[in-house]
Amino acid sequence: MNNPMAVSQNARQRRLLLQATGTLGGVGLVGTMVPFVASMAPSEAARSRGAPVEVNLDTATLGSLVTIAWRGKPVWILHRTSDMLDRLGRHDRLLADPLSKEAQQPAYARNATRSLRPDFFVAIGLCTHLGCVPTYRPDAGAADLGDDWPGGFFCPCHGSKFDLAGRVFRAVPAPLNLEIPPYEYQGETRLVVGQDRSGSA
Ligand code: FES
């Protein structure tokens, strides 16, 4: 016979995971993605006021994209593979702002990978055209996106394209790279979205 306390605990954990990964329907959760657990340390009320969100990266699968909610916006966390990182360096000529000169990121993400750590890409998952949620399209050379498609994010609303560092392609409606929120790491596997050591938040 089931232990009622254990059942209740399991149900609570399932609810938290769904809140962390399932409330932003349609955001690019694809392939063999195994959602890693976003531990929603702040209360629901605190989160809605914009409190930082802690994410445990322990079980993050290479190539997987997970979405959490921060300040009512989807925030993507992409665990990039070494192949994805290699591809980033090969298509600057196709990009509108390859060096991230526009102020779309904290200073610590103004680099070749637009991130604190190359292996994890953290970005607000809203197109800089009209704010739709792009889809995750890591499939380089996809037939519908062209031979020179290096993998990235595609916004079906009006056709904007972003690479796997959120850099916008030329000649699309979106004017800017995807926005990078403030974030920091507390140890190897704990990511905190919404705060950083510079005091941004
Ligand atoms: S909202 Fe993304 S292309 Fe228009």
pLDDT in tens, 50-88: 799 999 999 899 999 999 999 999 999 999 999 999 999
Domain boundaries, the chain: 4-193
pLDDT of residue 50: 77
Query: How many Cβ atoms from other residues are within 10 Å of residue 1's Cβ?
Result: 3
| Atom 3 of ligand 1, nearest CA residue | 158
3 state SS of 69: strand
CB-based contacts of 52: which residues, under 8 Å, 6+ apart?
42, 70, 192, 193, 194, 195, 201
Q: Which residue has the higher pLDDT, 196 or 118?
A: 118
Q: pLDDT tens digits for 121-140?
A: 999 999 999 999 999 999 99
Q: pLDDT tens digits for 4-57?
A: 444 444 444 444 333 333 333 333 333 223 345 444 455 566 666 679 999 999
Across all residues in the chain, what is the average pLDDT? 83
State the Cα–Cα distance between residues 141 and 108, nearest whole angstrom.
30
**158 is annotated as an active-site residue:** yes
Pocket mutation for ligand 1, best pick of 127, 128, 162, 178 (most atoms within 8 Å of C-beta):
127
Query: Which residues have C-beta atoms less than 6 Å from ligand 1?
Result: 127, 129-130, 132, 155, 157-160, 173-174
Q: Which two tokens stand for residue 76?
A: 């993507």
Find where tokens 């607000």 sit: 124
CA of residue 199 to ligand 1 center, whole Å: 31
pLDDT of residue 18: 36
pLDDT of residue 24: 35
pLDDT of residue 82: 97
Q: Which DSSP helix (H) or strand (E) runs through 135? A: strand 135-137
State the Cα–Cα distance between residues 33 and 180, nearest whole angstrom.
22
pLDDT of residue 16: 35
CATH class of the domain defined by 4-193 = mainly beta
Q: pLDDT tens digits for 142-177?
A: 999 999 999 999 999 999 999 999 999 999 999 999
pLDDT of residue 129: 98
Candidates 110, 92, 112; CA nearest to 101 is 110
pLDDT surpassing 80 at residue 198 = no
